[in-house]
Every structure is written in C-alpha cells, then in structure tokens.
Amino acid sequence: MGTFIDYTVNGLVVGNIYALLAVGLALIFGVANLINFAHGSLYTVGAYIGWVCITQLHTPFWVTVPAVLIGSGGLGVAIERLALRPLHGTSRIAPLLATIGLSLVLDQVVQLVFTPNPRALPSPLPDWRFQVGGGSIGTLDLLILGVGIGSAALLFVFLRFTKLGWAVRATAQDIDAAKQMGVDTDRVNSTVFAIASALGGLSGMMVGMYYNSIDPGMSFDATLKGVVAQIIGGMGNVPGAIAGSLLLGLIESYGIALFGTSYRNLFAFVLLIGILILRPNGLFSAAKETPPEPMTGSFVARGKPIRIPMPGMVGIVAVAALLPLVAGDYVLQTGTNALLYGLLALSLTLVAGTVGMVSLGHAGLLAIGAYASSLLAIELHIPVIAAIGLAGLVTAVLGTALVFPAFRMRGHYVSIATLAIGQIVALVILNWNSLTRGPIGISGIPPLTIAGVPLYDAPQTYWFVLAVVTGLALLQARILSSHLGRTWRALRDDDVAARSHGVDVDRYKALAFAFGGFGAGIGGAVTAHLYSYINHETFNAQISVLALTIAILGGLGNISGALLGSALLVGLPEVFRGLAEYRMLIYGVVLLLLIRVRPQGLLGTV
Amino acid sequence: MSALLALDKVCSFYGPVQVHFDLSLHVNQGEIVCLLGGNASGKSTTMKTILGLMKPRTGSVTFDGKVISGLPTHRIIRAGIGSVPEARRLFGAMTVRENLLMGAFIRDDSAAVRSDLDRVLTLFPRLQERLAQRAGTLSGGEQQMVAMARAMMGRPRLICMDEPTMGLSPRFVDVVLELIATINREGTTIFMVEQNASLALQIAHRGYVLQTGRIALEGAARALAADPRIRDAYLGGEAA
Ligand SMILES: Nc1ncnc2c1ncn2[C@@H]1O[C@H](COP(=O)(O)OP(=O)(O)OP(=O)(O)O)[C@@H](O)[C@H]1O
Ligand SMILES: [Mg+2]
C-alpha cells in the first residue's frame, strides 16, 4: 500500500512535468498547426538557466523562477519570430523541419557551452517528507504539483477571461476567421510561443531538481513525452494535454513498478501508436477521423528536379570507383561511411519523397538489418554475404509490418508514428535480452567476407559498398520511371483520390516500405559487419534526423540528390576534421538554411 | 464624391495563375452593391483582396480615401470593414455568445458592446435562445445569422459578405436578404458576392458582373435585372 502511494505520487509528479511540456505543445499546435520539435530544447535551456542561477549565481528561488520563465520564454519568441514566421505560406513540412533544425542547433550549443557531462541541480527547498498512508510525499513533490496546478489555473484564466486569450482560442479554431475579426494572429503566435516556452523551461528546471541531474541530451526525450501526452489528450487540446500527461505519468510509474525502468519509454510509445490507430483525436474525442491535414503533396515543397545527363552519371561513378587509387584509408573509410548513409537516404527519399510519408524513425530499419545480419552470422553461422542479403529481406518484411499501422495516417501523424516506431525498435532491442543481449550489445560480429575472403582493407570495403549502392540506386531509378513509380507519386499527391479510383493504397505503400526497408536493412547489416560491435544505441534517432536532412538536402525523392546530400553532410565534416565536433550544429544550420533558401533541395524534388 | 471602397486596376495571382485582370470597382457610402459571377470567376478572391488575406500584385484598394492594400488583415478590419466569410467560418467550439463577442474583438468600449449585443439580438431574435449553444451545432441558416450578427458587432462602416445565402432553403434566403436590407437601412454599407443574381438584385442598388477576373457588365440593379445578357447567363440560365 505504501509503495503504491509512492508510485502514485511519482506518477503524478512526472505527469505534472509532462503537462507543463504538453500544454505548450498543444497551444502551439492549436494556433500554428505545428508540432514543435524544438520544444524539448527549450526545456533543456530552462534547466540550464536554472542551473546557472542556482549553482553559479546563487540566486534565491524567487529570482530563479522568473529568470527561467523569461529566458526560455524570450528564446521561444525569438524562435517564432526569426525562424518560423518567415516560413508562413511555404510548404507544411517546412516549419516542422525548421523546428528539428532548431533543436539540433540549440542542443549542440548547450552541449558546447556546458559540456555533455551531467550536472547536479539541487533543489533549494528544505528536504522535508510527509507521511501519507504508508507512503510519503516531499516538499519538491508538493512544489511540482503546485506549479502544475497553478500554471493550469492561470492558463485557464488567461484563455477564458482575457482578450488575448480569446484571440488565442479563436486563432486555434480558424486562423483566417480570427484575422477577419481583427485579431493580429502574428501577435497571437508570439504570445503562444512565449507561454509554451516559458512553461517548457520551467518544466526542465523542475525535472532537473527532481532527479538532481541535467544534461544536454535530455531534450529529445522531453519532446517525445510531450508529444505523446498531447496525442493521448488530442492534438491541440489543452485540457486534454493535461489529462494525457497525468495518465502517461501514472502509467509509466506503475509500469516501472511492475516491469522495471528500461521499459519506461516502451509504454509511452506503444500507448502512442495504440492511440494513433484507435483514437487519433485523443481519448476525449469520439471522432475517428483526424482533422483534415492538407494533401501530402503540399506538405512537401515542390520544384523542378535537375537532371544529370547519363554521361555525367557514368563519369561520377567512374571517379568514385577510381578513388581508392589516389586516396588514403581515412578518406576511403569516410567515403564508405557516406555511401552507407547514402543507402539509408535512398530508402528514406523513396518513402518520404516519392510516397510522401515523412518518416522520422528510419534508423530503426538500420537497427533491424544490423541485428538480423549479426545474429544470423553469429548464431546460425550463415556466411556473411548471405546473412546481409537475408537481413535485407527480414528488414523489408519487419519494417513494413511495423509501419503498416501508419499507412492511413497523414502529414504530422505519419512523422510522429514513425518516430515512435523507431523508438520502439530500439527499446525492444534493449529489453529482449535473450535474443539481442540487451544493453550489453553484440560484439565479435564477423567482418565482411566474400567467398570466404574477408575484406579487411579499406579499398575493398569501399568498392563493395559502392557496388551495392550503385546497384540499388539503379534499381530504384528503374522503378521510379515505371508504372509503380508513377502510382507512388500519385499516392503522394492525393491518396484520397487514388483510393477512390480503386488503387489499393496500402499495398503500394507496403511495396515502397519493403523496397526501402530492404535497402536500409542491407545498409545496417553492412555497418554491423564493419563495426563488429553494435548495441541498441548504435542506430539512434539522431541518425534518423540526419537521414532526413540528407534526403532534404538532395531533394526529396531524388536519387542522385540523396547520394550527393550524404557525400556533403557525412563526407565534408570528416574531411575538415575540426568540424566533426560541431557536426549536429552544422546539420541543424544546413537544415534551417535549406528550408529558407532552397526548400526543394539541391537537385530538386522529384 | 469619392467612394467608400474602391478597387483600382487590381491584378491578383495565385502563384503563376492570374485571377483578376485590371479589376476596378467601387462602393459608395450607404449602398448595397453586389458582385455577380459564375463559379471560379474570382468573386471570393475579390473579397480576400479587400480584406488583405491576399495582396494584389498591382493595383490598389482604397477604403475611405486611404490605401488599404498591403495592410495586414487585422488593420483593415480596424479601419472599419466587417466580414461575413464564405461558408460562414464560425468558431465552432465557441458558444454563439462568444462568437458575437469575438465580432467585437477590435472594440474596447465594453458597455457599448453589451448594448450592441442586445441590439443585434433584437434583429436576430432566433439567436437569443441559442446564445449558450456551441456555434458548430447550429443549423446552416442560424449559422448565417450568427455570421452576420458577428460582423455587425464590430460596428463596421462596410460589411463584405461572400455568398450569404449559399446553402440556405428558399425561405431562409428571403429572411437573410431582408436582414441585409435592414442592416443597410440602419446605415451600414454592404458589398456582397452572390451567385443568386435575381434575388440579390432585388435588394441591391448597383451590381457588377465578373467574368474570368474582368468586369463584364455593371450598372443599377434594376437595369442589370432587366438585361437580357444577365438573364441568360445568371437568372436561371447557367446552373450554379
Ligand atoms: N487558394 C487558392 N490557390 C490556388 N488557386 C485558387 C485558390 N483559391 C481560388 N483559386 C482559383 O482562383 C480562381 C477564382 O477563385 P474564387 O474562389 O475567387 O472564385 P469564386 O468566383 O468565388 O467561385 P465560387 O463561386 O465557386 O465561390 C479559381 O479558378 C480557383 O480555382
Ligand atoms: Mg467563392
């Protein structure tokens, strides 16, 4: 009984922290129709402002809290004004990608300033605990509960009883109609970003105190939890976001009590997928249909692709093939790495660009391929080259099956669902000890071997990967110009129309994911044999984001673009070695610049 | 005398597609002017241009002698233009009362807003008993009334209405047109877009006929109603 109360208190406290995040996401989604992937970064920034105030400046608590609110709120306003507002009227995916870019930049800046090491963030409150029916509740618990309830009450008063609050509600329902009532919707947007970011920052500071630890990597998880909570309550639904957060906090807490900590996120993401499938408008709305998202076609920026003539292509491949004659091992290893990312980008550019399902969990496919090939080679003693091929097939089947529930979703919902699926893959790998060896990972993976001859030196490996990439790229190009390719593009442009013309949309999407999964699975498998060691974090969400950046840099759907993008993004930071440390910052800046300057990518969308 | 609202040689575009070709028209103080035209002739685009929801590439819109093209929508509304948008666009999750108060968003004189609320409710007595109901649950005709009452709550000098009778039953169409005439008699100038030419011309003073982004005909309502070209094209001719 006592421990039950402890877990309940813990669930409610964590739920309140999520609520502070989710409420902001809901407000932003309401007025700007945008999932703010930079939200977790503001939470991190808030935590670090709190850390600077408390441990460096030794400010009293009543100064620290306003400093956190103003600092993170102000940053939110700046983000909206400088990075998002100029994107009004462009494609729907542009602001979403911009927030991803912003989060990369902010997280890396925090890391550069404060180092990646965790910091202790002590609570300034006296550490009293009160006994409640066998369990106990501490001062910090009460503070967090109080802040959560207080913020919710203030927000309620603001939305109900102030003019600006009315403007926020009206804008969330119909932005054009609100404008025609004389509402300055730009100001509404600024206000909402200010409130959301301030609450997010406060949440970060409090979570830091709760665990007495903060680090620059905490942002991604925070964004995800906020999004999950928001989806449980219904996108854009503010009271729903609070209820969803409390529910999520409690489920996690009881889940940890029953199964252990490593399962924590698994509950969140399985719940997310379940809700997206069964009640896409959240637990509190009966409607089965998600609110209309624009056609995927306008979700992605369009532009005329630049065609590289055939002799040019042959020339490029020839130069790439001759590279080992002049380049040293380091360059070739970088080249191999770029080619492997190219393989992933080819796969992503197919599903995101050609079919229009912008996946944020593509690294999950690499993980499946890598584990499949490693285990086949180690446990079943299958020759490496065959294991790689089989891993491609396993990834094609498993990847398609996993993403299948997202086939009927659109726009934002696809991105969230795939993000969650990618996380689920990593978490299953972490927890399925008997198969995957859990957190220990798999070591001693045999090297690439062809016909019994291991490829130990860099040129051979490079040639092998180059051959695989060239082959798959040619095959993909073939398919894109066939009937199948045209059907895929038709689905992307208007899947409702395609459905009503009797096209079996699910089957075509499955074909795309199968082909894409095959390529990515091969990529993951080859990587595993090159690394000889993998674990559940080898293929993390950052890789998914990088793959998307590469695909966008090259031009969505564009095959040569995917390869060019990966040569530029993976290759260049290695060539200029000093840049490697700033890698994520570079990716973020590239993403932000591209969206502004050349949203269709370097070679144009196809 | 200068007009209350004037469009001067407006050319507007959606991307590369041109919708208006040197469109010029004007509305005088106190008038009801209706803009007629078939589907896709550019009527709603005219409204969006006046309201600042899109900007003309060339040409200008003036209101009360000042150029308003290029201003953001909320400034145009504050200048004294009310809007009854196409398909009503109520705030569906808000109550009727909240919708009406949103109409008065630009005003700070809360006592006068309250008395205006009473005034519009005497004009639209049906809304009185629906005040606490969510606007999204009203019938189409009732929603149209809320949209008109909401526009009046801002005390505009000019109300722009985009197809106020669309989707209404014939009985309701008469009610709505009668209300428009009443609002106009009380001193508000009306610029309305209509497909239902014969009915609109009954209450309007003047009219324009828009054809693929150009004014094809213009004149006094009575003359237009009698014009055989209008009769063929819009009075029961071409289906709406
Ligand atoms: N948002 C938009 N983007 C691109 N083209 C548009 C857009 N809105 C309208 N158009 C095009 O502009 C032209 C004029 O449209 P508009 O809505 O002004 O016509 P309308 O006269 O109001 O028609 P209706 O009687 O059907 O309401 C049409 O060809 C339409 O397809
Ligand atoms: Mg129209």
Ligand found nearest the CA of B38? 1
pLDDT in tens, A330-341: 889 999 999 999
CA distance A169 to A152: 15
Q: Is B93 on the interface with A (CB under 8 A)?
A: yes
Cα end-to-end distance, chain A, whole Å: 61
- CB–CB of A180 and B105 under 8 A? no
Q: How far is ligand 2, taken at its centre, from the CA of residue A85, in Å?
A: 28
Q: Do B103 and A170 touch (CB under 8 A)?
A: no
The answer on pLDDT for A196 being more than 90 is yes
- A172 to chain B: closest CA residue: B91
Q: DSSP assignment, residue A38? A: T
Mutation for A interface: B45, B49, B54, B73, most A CBs within 10 A:
B73
Between CA A336 and CA A342 the distance in angstroms is 9
CA distance B149 to B159: 11
Higher pLDDT, A260 or A167: A167
Q: Distance, CA A392 to ligand 1 centroid (Å)? A: 48
Edge-to-edge strands, sheet with B189-194: B81-84, B158-162, B189-194, B32-37, B206-211, B214-220
* Segment A254-300, tens digit of pLDDT: 998 988 888 888 888 988 888 888 888 888 876 655 555 544 445 56
The identity of residue B15, as a single letter, is G
Ligand nearest to the CA of B37: 1
Rama region for A370: left / alpha / beta (φ>0; ψ in -120 to 50; rest): alpha
Nearest to B91 among A170, A185, A186 (CB): A170
Give the C-alpha separation, A151 to A149, whole Å.
Answer: 6
Mean pLDDT over all residues of chain A? Answer: 90
Neighboring chain A residues of B93 at a CB cutoff of 8 Å:
169, 173
Average pLDDT over residues A591-599: 87
Contact B101 A183 (CB under 8 A): no
Tell me the CA–centroid distance for residue B212 and ligand 2, in Å. 13
Higher-scoring residue by pLDDT: A179, A503: A179
What's the residue count for chain A?
606
Q: What is the pLDDT of residues A23-72, one digit of tens each?
A: 999 999 999 888 999 999 999 999 999 999 999 999 999 999 999 999 99
Atom of ligand 1 nearest to the CA of B48: 18
List of domains in chain A: 2-278 (1.10.3470), 331-597 (1.10.3470)
E runs forming strands in A442-556: 442-443, 449-450, 453-454, 533-534
pLDDT of residue B1: 54
- pLDDT tens-digit map of A204-260: 999 999 999 999 999 998 999 999 999 999 888 899 999 999 999 999 999 989 888
Ligand number nearest CA of B46 is: 1
Closest Cβ opposite residue A179 in set B53, B93, B94: B53
CB A413 within 8 A of CB A280: yes
pLDDT at A475: 94
Quickly tell me which residue has 């290695």 as its tokens.
A574
Q: Smallest CA–CA separation between B201 and chain A, in Å?
A: 26
Rounded (5°) CA angle B58-B60-B61: 145
Cβ pairs bridging A and B (under 8 Å): 62
Q: Which atom of ligand 1 is nearest to the CA of B15?
A: 4
Nearest CA to A114 among A225, A34, A213? A213
Residue-wise DSSP of B51-85 = TTSS--SEEEEEETTEE-TTS-HHHHHHTTEEEE-
Q: Given an 8 Å threshold on Cβ–Cβ distance, is A185 in contact with B74?
A: yes
| Domains annotated on chain B, with CATH | 1-80+157-240 (3.40.50.300), 91-155 (no CATH)
Query: A173, B94: Cβ pair inside 8 Å?
Result: yes
3-state helix, strand, coil in chain A (%, to 5): 75, 5, 20
Question: Does B94 contact chain A (CB < 8 Å)?
Answer: yes
Mean pLDDT, range A80-94, rounded to an integer: 86
Residue A238's CB is within 10 A of a number of other CB atoms, namely 24
Per-residue tokens: A18? 């999520």
Average pLDDT estimate for A547-565: 91
Report percent pLDDT > 70 for chain B. Answer: 95
The 10 Å Cβ neighbour count of residue B18 is 14
pLDDT given at position B240: 37
Whether chain A has a CB inside 8 Å of the CB on B78: the answer is yes
- Tens digit of each residue's pLDDT (9 = 90 or more) over A375-427: 999 999 999 999 999 999 999 999 999 999 888 887 788 888 999 999 999 99
User: In whole angstroms, what is the distance from residue A575 CA to residue B42 CA?
Assistant: 56
Poorest-confidence range of A186-200, A440-454, B177-191? A440-454
Of B73, B83, B94, the CB nearest to A169: B94
Q: Which of A90, A180, A284 to mutate to test the interface with B (most CBs of B within 10 A)?
A: A180
Report pTM.
0.90
Selecting from B98, B105, B150 the residue whose C-beta is nearest the C-beta of A183 gives: B105
Distance A249 CA to ligand 1 centre (A): 48
> What per-residue confidence (pLDDT) applies to A294?
46
- Can you tell me the ipTM of this complex? 0.94
B81 touches chain A (CB under 8 A): no
Separation CA A489–CA A354 (nearest Å): 6
Chain B residue whose CA is closest to A177? B89
Does the pLDDT of residue B75 top 90, yes or no? Answer: yes
Give the gap in angstroms from C-alpha B77 to the nearest C-alpha of chain A.
Answer: 5
Q: Is the pLDDT of residue B238 over 50?
A: no
Given this model, what pLDDT does residue A287 score?
61
Name the least confident of A554-563, B127-136, B183-192, B231-240: B231-240
CA distances from residue B218 to A83, B196, B206, B223, B230 in whole angstroms, order as listed: 47, 16, 8, 9, 10
Residue nearest atom 26 in ligand 1 by C-alpha distance: B39
Within 6 Å (CB) of ligand 1, which residues are found? B 14, 19, 37, 39-45, 195
SS3 of residue A584 by DSSP: helix
